[in-house]
Amino acid sequence: MTAAIVGWAHTPFGKLDAESVESLIVRAANEALDHAGVTASDVDEIVLGHFNAGFSAQDFTASLVLQADPAFRFKPTTRVENACATGSAAVHQGIKTIEARKARIVLVVGVEQMTTTPGPEIGRNLLKASYLKEEGDIVGGFAGVFGKIAGAYFQKYGDQSDALAMIAAKNHRNGVGNPYAQMRKDLGFDFCRQESDKNPFVAGPLKRTDCSLVSDGAAAVVLADVETALRMRRAVVFRGRAHAQDFLPMSKRDILKFEGCSQAWSRALAEAGVTLGDLSFVETHDCFTIAELIEYEAMGLTPEGQGARAIQEGWTQMDGKLPVNPSGGLKAKGHPIGATGVSMHALSAMQLTGEAPEGIQVKGARLAGIFNMGGAAVANYVSVLERIK
């Protein structure tokens, strides 16, 4: 246990026309410092998670964090990127700096503004997180990548449309209680299950309700070494964490197994000295409902091909044995790519300190598991969090 979350901030996610990448960064940074009870002068290093890939005309965004406070000037500041796991990559990088004893306090900010980009460009930008040499012509962009995965899963294990609709309905129901969520509407199983004008097929067997939202937003966490954290207002420690990177081409692996996800979970749980059953809840990367279904299997909740059991038997509901995505997940909360992993850590820390919004608070939450994924199970990050103050 070398680092802890001592403060955080979270903007609403959604279509934020009045904001910019810069304004979102500044807002999240200042609010996180205030929540942690520290000043910009106290921060030793800054890490920014920002995917971009064409969403922002302004690239080279690391120094935009310095716009939040003149006292940030000359502090080491770096932007990191690892596709849709960019936010967790930033968090884990901050922890490494603390572990190396090069910093006591690190500010991590994650940001993305996607909605100002025209639709066709959004698809092209997102597809850059796939192996373009082999996957660049898949119809439907990144949704098409996961539509292909869903189709292969259905072919091997049978039609999972009911399970996917149940996952979507669960996450939308959870999102109603999350004031940061982009979509706060309980759509219900029937709407998610049936094809309609408002819920058409998008790619393969995936409908609109199976796909996460295009979003703007930012989140931030303040990290501190444990000794420093114990003198602060709150401390949520990293009991374990892991990062497992897999091959980029889907052709080089069994895409239905999410083996990098399994590796990251097993390593993080082993480091934490806990089992999956010890966790109070999990925030997992439901960029598409088929991803959450396969992640049930990859994390060890069910055997391969039986992920549907977890949702059909109620295990992952808010009142189940392992609530998954009490925040509403990417499905309801939104998915501003660079912010997503930081959001997962901020919301999990809220849960463990009892500071989560009332509508999403998991009763008696003690241990949190987080899985953030970049690409089609390529960049895989797991964190296990526990409150110690």
Q: Kindly list the catalytic residues.
A: 84, 335
- Give the other-Cβ count within 10 Å of 358's Cβ: 7
CA distance 359 to 98: 34
| 3-state secondary structure labels for all residues of the chain | CCEEEEEEEECCCECCCCCCHHHHHHHHHHHHHHHHCCCHHHCCEEEEECCCCCCCCCCCCHHHHHHHCHHHCCCCEEEECECECHHHHHHHHHHHHHHCCCCCEEEEEEEEECCCCCHHHHHHHHHCCCCHHHHCCCCCHHHHHHHHHHHHHHHHHCCCHHHHHHHHHHHHHHHCCCCCCCCCCCCHHHHHHCCCCCCCEEECCEEHHHECCCCEEEEEEEEEEHHHHCCCCCCEEEEEEEEEECCCCHHHCCCCCCHHHHHHHHHHHHHHCCCHHHCCEEECCCCEHHHHHHHHHHCCCCCCCCHHHHHHCCCCCCCCCCCECCCCHHHHHCCCHHHHHHHHHHHHHHHHHCCCCHHHCCCCCCEEEEEEEECCCCEEEEEEEEECC
Residues facing residue 372 across a β-bridge: 381
Q: 236-273 as b/e, with b when 16 or more CB fall inside 10 Å? A: bbbbbbbbbbbebebeebebbebbbbbbbbbbbbebbe
CA distance 273 to 172: 33
CA distance 72 to 29: 11
CA distance 80 to 73: 19
